[in-house]
Amino acid sequence: MEKAVVLNRLSRRFGDFIAVNEVSLDVEKGEIFGFLGANGAGKTTVIRMLCGLLLPTSGTGMVNDFDIYRENEQIKRSIGYMSQKFSLYQDLTGKQNFEFFGTVYGLKSKLLNERIDELTAELELSEFINRLAGSLPMGWRQRLALAAALIHKPKILFLDEPTGGVDPVFRRKFWDILYRLADEGTTVFVTTHYMDEAEYCRRISIMHRGRIVEIGDPRELIKKYNQPDLQETFIKLISRESQNE
Amino acid sequence: MNKIKFIAIKEFRHIMRDSRSLIIVILMPIMMTFLYGYAINLDVKNIKLAIVDFDNSSESRDLTGRFYNSGYFVKSEKLPDMESPEKVLVAGKANAVLFIKPGLAEAIANFSDYELGITVDGSDANLAAAASSYAKMILAEFLSSKFSSGQTESGVILRSKILYNEDLQSSHFFVPGLIAVILMMISALLASVTIAREKETGTMEQLLTSPVTPRQIILGKVIPYVILASLDGLLILLFALIIFGVPFSGSSLLLMMFGLIYLTTALSFGILISTLVKTQQLAMMFSLLATVLPTVMLSGYIFEIKNMPVVMQWLTQLIPARYFIMIIRGIMLKGSGLAELWTESIFLIALTIGLLTLAVKRFQLKIG
């Protein structure tokens, strides 16, 4: 199986604080990987390093077979990123946002328009694409942001808490889209606090204080720790780790 | 190149969408021009003048009359005591004392050398400067009325204790400086706010995960503001020429060239500020504080640099507006060219390069 992400003892310090402590993990191409952890565990720092927003202090990392230290440019071209904050231009329409991000990725106008039409149809955005992004309800904004992150057909999609503040119906639809993307071969690397979402993932990792404490198939982890569901498994793991310190 | 263009187009869309700030950008310069042009009128009138006339001839009485009838000077409340005329100045009873030594009438008749002395209370620099230049002007009129044209010049000269500010009309003096102040303020403000906004809303992070370089971001974001600020500059210039009748004797091409250099400085400053703050509000406050005060106070715009304490005079060398104001006044009022303005030009260009390098470096470090 080809790997989309390979991390080997990746660390990042901020002064004395070790935000990410020797994290090693593999993500296979086309899988949905759930990157879980309590608040402040270091998830966002890992994602920022994977997306080329931050350099690691030590360790190695490959994204789409590109080195995260040296091949930043190539990585940026091949990934899509959607952060927990809604980060489209709120005073532009959805379409203007798409046009802008499309050109940033070097899409020529013909291809860009095709891609916008495609995404509008796939994500059912036609009603909203000509309204100001800032005027839309949260659920639609997220979907707009997802579409913007997909404009250049990235090989990996990094999603940092993409469904925060969105109602369950929207969340379900959002995940339907992620499934479809994974089926088409896009790797999805997602952080979330919703355990029902995490159960949709093929594999998950659980991070605590900068380290990965468990990794595997969510169903197998539930069995391994003998818990009724992933939520209890997560809580049990985190409290066990906290006691060990 | 294409990316820069699209960032610039997007930035224009932001500007057009946000009509309120667009109005501010256009209206503020107009309002400030009026404010500085009309309300802050620093033309000095009613200077209290004491005249000590030792000559006591018809000529000296004529001169005295000209002073008091000029509209600029009024009689001081108290006549000076002959032995120590400075006392009236110290007591604040007069702003200036004119000494007419014996021999004025003979000097005019014989074309001989003669010195008139004026002592001006320097505590109000603006008034002092005005007083001595008015006195000069009045003396020149007086002398030319005594000699018909073609005759040799008289030896009568005026010696004043304080001598500067040759340009009398304050609007002529202020409006060019105003262009420097407004361009600095608007450019720094807009540039810092637009970048801070992207940081605040998280779109900067989104941009940085895409294959654009920090340099492209800066360029793309700054180009629309160069255009906007240039329009502002032109607007004030038109006001200056049409409404205030400020002369324009130099090369407009040269002025445009320096205008662009100065804009670059101001925008670099704005980018630098944006790397120091996280929110739009802070960016706004910071850039207003860091541009308006120093630019107004330390550039020679209102206060003469020569009159400042030495330490402050050193500080003014770091203010880009100082050089731009000298350049713009030189070009507009005196018709100066590069030959006269080369020192200022070198300083301004050096400051621009320094600030730009610093801004781009810090931007790449902090945001990139």
Query: Which residue ranges make up each domain of chain A?
Result: 3-88+154-244
Question: A37: which strand partners?
Answer: A207
How are beta strands B73-75 and A203-208 bridged, if at all?
unpaired
Please judge whether A103 and B2 are an interchain contact, meaning their C-beta atoms are less than 8 angstroms apart: yes
Question: A-chain residues within 8 Å CB-CB of B208?
Answer: 52-53
How are beta strands A156-160 and A32-37 bridged, if at all?
unpaired
CATH number belonging to the domain at A3-88+154-244, selected among 3.30.930.10, 1.10.1060.10, 1.10.10.10, 3.40.50.300: 3.40.50.300
Please judge whether A86 and B2 are an interchain contact, meaning their C-beta atoms are less than 8 angstroms apart: no
Q: Among partner residues B17, B18, B205, which is closest to A53 by beta-carbon distance?
A: B205
Instruction: Classify residue B183 as exposed, middle or buried by CB count within 10 Å of its CB (0-12, 13-18, 19+).
Output: buried
Please judge whether A103 and B3 are an interchain contact, meaning their C-beta atoms are less than 8 angstroms apart: yes
pLDDT tens for the 245 residues of chain A, in order: 689 999 999 999 999 999 999 999 999 999 999 999 988 889 999 999 999 888 999 999 999 999 999 998 899 999 999 988 888 999 999 999 999 999 999 888 899 999 999 999 988 899 999 999 999 988 889 899 999 999 999 999 999 988 887 888 888 889 999 999 999 999 999 998 888 889 989 999 999 999 999 999 999 999 999 999 999 999 999 899 888 87
Q: What is the ipTM of this complex?
A: 0.86
Q: Among partner residues A77, A83, A91, which is closest to B211 by beta-carbon distance?
A: A77
> Is B297 in CB contact (< 8 Å) with chain A?
no
Fold of B47-160: abc type-2 transporter like fold (3.40.1710)
Question: A-chain residues within 8 Å CB-CB of B7?
Answer: 100, 104
> Is A38 in CB contact (< 8 Å) with chain B?
no
Q: What is the DSSP string of B95-122?
A: SEEEEE-TTHHHHHHHT-EEEEEEEE-T
> Is A134 in CB contact (< 8 Å) with chain B?
no
Could you tell me the pLDDT band of residue B164, with boundaries at 50, 70 and 90? Answer: very low
Please judge whether A105 and B6 are an interchain contact, meaning their C-beta atoms are less than 8 angstroms apart: no
Question: What beta strand segments (E) does B19-93 contain?
Answer: 47-53, 73-75
> Which residues are CB-neighbours of A178 under 8 A, at least 6 positions away?
A32, A157, A159, A188, A190, A200
> Is B14 in CB contact (< 8 Å) with chain A?
yes
Interval B69-91 mean pLDDT: 71
Per-residue pLDDT at B178 exceeds 90: no
Residues of chain B with CATH 3.40.1710.10: 47-160
In the sheet where A187-191 sits, what is the strand order? A79-82, A156-160, A187-191, A32-37, A203-208, A211-216
> Which residues are CB-neighbours of A215 under 8 A, at least 6 positions away?
A25, A203, A204, A205, A206
State the Cα–Cα distance between residues A160 and A164, nearest whole angstrom.
9
State the Cα–Cα distance between residues A80 and A101, nearest whole angstrom.
11
Q: From the candidates B206, B213, B221, B365, which should be mutated to test the interface with A, based on the most A CB atoms within 10 A?
A: B206
State the Cα–Cα distance between residues B269 and B263, nearest whole angstrom.
10
Question: B100: which strand partners?
Answer: B53
Q: How much is the pTM?
A: 0.74
State the Cα–Cα distance between residues A173 and A186, nearest whole angstrom.
17
3-state class of B9 per DSSP? Answer: helix
Report CA-CA distances (Å) from B191 to A231, B332, B359: 47, 28, 11
